Amino acid sequence: MQPLRPYEKRDTLRQFLDHDRHVLRFFCAWDDQELNQFADTRQVAYTRIIIIIIIIITARCTIVQSAV
């Protein structure tokens, strides 16, 4: 990738068309057992399933906690 010069114009339409409908999706597991002070000691584990979605064209990030 060549660096842009100050006088060069970035083609935003071409960039939009190249990355249209491109999405990154990550599945994560968050173990919250140590942070939960009021957890029952008989409870084996308290994990949260989290989905992180990044839409490339708008650089928007969404974090969703799974209902599982």
Q: How confident is the model at residue 48 (pLDDT cuts 50, 70, 90)?
A: confident
3-state secondary structure string across the chain:
CCCCCCCCCCCHHHHHHHHCCCEEEEEEEEECCCCCCCCCCCCCCCEEEEEEEEECCCCEEEEEECCC
Structural domain boundaries of the chain?
A: 23-65
38, pLDDT greater than 70: no
- Tell whether the model's pLDDT for residue 36 goes beyond 60: no
Question: In the prediction, which pLDDT does 50 show?
Answer: 92
- Categorize the per-residue pLDDT at 47 as very low, low, confident or very high, splitting at 50, 70 and 90: confident
The more confident residue out of 14 and 45 is 14
